[in-house]
Every structure is written in C-alpha cells, then in structure tokens.
Amino acid sequence: MQLSNLPPSSCIYEIRVREDLDDDLVTWFGPLSVVHGSNGTTFTVPVRDQAELHGLLIKIRDLNLTLIALINK
C-alpha cells in the first residue's frame, strides 16, 4: 500500500520488535516499509482506527514477540 492511497483518517505507526522477523511474517502486518536490523525488526504500518491498532498489538502478543517501540508518525 502506498502512502498516497491511505484513507484520510489513517495514522502511520512505526512498530519495533526485538525479534528478527522473516518477510512472510512481516507481510501479514501490511507494512509500508520494513527494516531488518541487528536489534530486531522495524516496520511502518497504516492504521485506520484504534480497533485495527489493537488487532496488531494482539497479533504481536499472540506471536510472543517482544514489543520495543510503538511510535505514531
């Protein structure tokens, strides 16, 4: 998804997890960008509303990932 195609009410969040996620798993989150670093994985995702944000956080929890940062861009 391109930034220009997002609904006007969307927010962009940067999510950083400690684990090094493979591309197949990161794709599930629908990221705009992904950075694999020595300190884990950072991806930027569009979020339409709080319910969608909670869904992402639940998925991170269910996958037993360690959330390092959640930043509203």
Residue range 41-55, pLDDT digits in tens:
999 999 999 999 999
In angstroms, how far is CA 60 from the centroid of its own chain? 9
Helix (H, G, I), strand (E, B) or coil at 23: helix
pTM summary value: 0.82
* Count of domains observed in the chain: 1
- The per-residue pLDDT string of the chain (73 residues; one tens digit each, 9 = 90 and over) reads 455 566 666 899 999 999 999 988 888 888 889 999 999 999 999 999 999 999 999 999 999 999 999 999 9
- CATH assignment at residue 33: 3.30.70
Kindly state the tokens that stand for 40.
């884990």
> What range defines the domain where residue 52 resides?
3-72
